[in-house]
Amino acid sequence: GTALGAGDGDGSSIVYSRDWGDALAGLPNLKRLNLRGNNLQTFPADGLADLGLLSVLNLSNCQLEGLLPRALPPKLRSLELQGNRLSGAVDLSSLPELASANLSQNLLSEVVPGSLDGLNALATLTLSNNQLEGHLSLQFMPGLVDLALNDNMLSSVDLSGLAHGKSPRLATVQLHNNPHLQGPWPEYLLGDASDVSTLAVLRCQGAALGAPLSPIGGGGPGLGLGLGAACLREVDLSGNNLNCELPAFLHGNGRWAANLEVAKLNGCSLIGTIECLRDVDNFRALRVLELSDNHLTGGLGALSKKLTNTVQKVRSFGSDGDSAQPDSAYRHLQ
């Protein structure tokens, strides 16, 4: 296919021109356009919609300002606009073939309700490091695998539509560093009723979520995980007001135990006894366990030897040292 690239580390740079979009209009067969790292400053008025065959567009780090255009090339499959100063609302409803969209590190303030629903091919959606605020609801995205909404100002998020078979491939959800994010723990992702059996990474640290669930097996207030956690490898709920006993996924008697590698629940107002940690021999992959700054009581006792043999690095009571780094399978998510 026809491709045009510039600013790919070869020392070339396109300087701002109000007519740069008009120049591309004479390339009707263009399929790939990479202008990242240039000083373009503004989108063409028509949003490049005339490039009817364009499937890959990379305008990241181009100092683009103004509103995110709604009219974009209709055949786009990959859209990279990260690292600009684009503002306004996100509306990708005109891109039915879109598979990957990275709009991070901009000034976007909202997602037009319903504008992402029905994008069946969209597998990766990155809206992190923007100014998204208020309520966000995503209800029908059957191809979604990776979702990043971290580092925004969202107050509530409804992802229930991604469960119950509507996003059967969902693997990564990042909601961390939304300091105003409130509401119950998203049980529809990992609870007993969830159909999301592929979720591997869940990051919600630095929010204000609660935990209305009871632990598996009954008892007082607690955080339960169901069959949806079968593939869970990393969970970070640090800094939330869970105010519950140790969650069921640390009891080691569920399907999630075999795959869990990283569990971080620092500063979650956890209560009860540390002695409820049991069946730790099942956590053969566990290498980071962080439970510092909670209200847990009791001693490890006979569990200490098991934990030493099972966990490569334990910071359960705020011991010094750096956390182990996630393995290469999801190091890029840091």
Can you tell me whether residue 21 is helix, strand or coil? helix
Mean pLDDT (the chain) is: 76
Question: How would you label 83-97 residue by residue, b for 16+ Cβ within 10 Å and e otherwise?
Answer: bbebebebbbebbee
**Residues 252, 281: contact at Cβ < 8 Å?**
yes
Residue 220: is it exposed, middle or buried by C-beta count within 10 angstroms (0-12/13-18/19+)? exposed
**How many angstroms separate the CA atoms of 299 and 301, rounded?**
5
**How many angstroms separate the CA atoms of 192 and 229, rounded?**
9
- Provide the residue type at 244 as one letter: C
**How many angstroms separate the CA atoms of 123 and 146, rounded?**
6
What is the maximum span of the chain, computed from C-alpha positions, in angstroms? 74
Apex CA 207: angle with CA 202 and CA 209, to 5°? 80
Beta strands in 159-284 (DSSP E): 172-174, 182-184, 201-203, 208-210, 234-236, 262-264
Residue 79: which pLDDT band, with cuts at 50, 70 and 90?
very high
Residue 132: which pLDDT band, with cuts at 50, 70 and 90?
very high
**How many angstroms separate the CA atoms of 168 and 195, rounded?**
7
pTM of the model: 0.81
**pLDDT value at position 244?**
77
- Write out the two tokens for 141: 């995205």
**How many angstroms separate the CA atoms of 125 and 148, rounded?**
6
pLDDT in tens, 166-198: 667 888 999 999 988 887 666 667 655 555 667
**How many angstroms separate the CA atoms of 65 and 311, rounded?**
48
- Provide the residue type at 33 as one letter: L
- Provide the residue type at 273 as one letter: T
155 or 195: whose pLDDT is higher?
A: 155
pLDDT in tens, 288-304: 989 899 998 876 654 55
